[in-house]
Amino acid sequence: MLDLLLVLRVNLKLGVPDFFFVVIDASVGHMIGRLKWMPLLVLSSKLCPPGIEGTFFALLMSIDNAGLLTSSWFGGLLLHVLKVTRTQFDNLWVAILIRSILRISPLFILFLVPRTDPNSSILPGEVLDSEEVTETPTSENIELVALVNKEDDR
């Protein structure tokens, strides 16, 4: 809601200049953007079967990028509907209010997250019991090769 306070000029009534208010808003927004991924990554690490962690992380990132793309398109559509242009800012506060409400709307579906012990495993036992066979080379099978030519040292 800090953007709404800036557009409505409440920050000047509180004695905070625009520059400092924007810097604080950007810092808080960046910090929240980083922190919002923590619960999702922890939950996905418990749900992800062994061996496909990279693929699962790539899927999460692609979903996030698709969300950013659609939000920018819908944001532009909202500004068009509210007739906010480069010179006309009368309804900008309405657009920011709608955006702020949509940002907190996931809080209303938190009841869908299961209430379990965070240390318990979510995956079934047969998935967890599958062990990957990895061969580690023994010292007699390793051939050491010089990475630098002696002639390059001159």
How much is the mean pLDDT over the chain? 81
In percent, how much of the chain has pLDDT > 70?
78
Q: Which two tokens stand for residue 120?
A: 């318990």
Residue 138 vs residue 50, higher pLDDT: 50
CB 11 within 8 A of CB 5: yes
Q: What is the 3-state secondary structure (H, E, C) of 86-149?
A: CCCCCCHHHHHHHHHHHHHHHHHHHHHCCCCCCCCCCCCHHHHHCCCCCCCCCHHHCCCCCCCC
pLDDT of 153: 54
CA dihedral sign of residues 78, 84, 89, 91:
negative
Question: Does residue 94 surpass a pLDDT of 90?
Answer: yes
Specify the higher pLDDT residue, 30 or 126: 30
Q: What is the mean pLDDT of residues 113-139?
A: 61
Model confidence at 122, pLDDT cuts 50, 70, 90, reads low
pLDDT at position 52, please?
A: 84
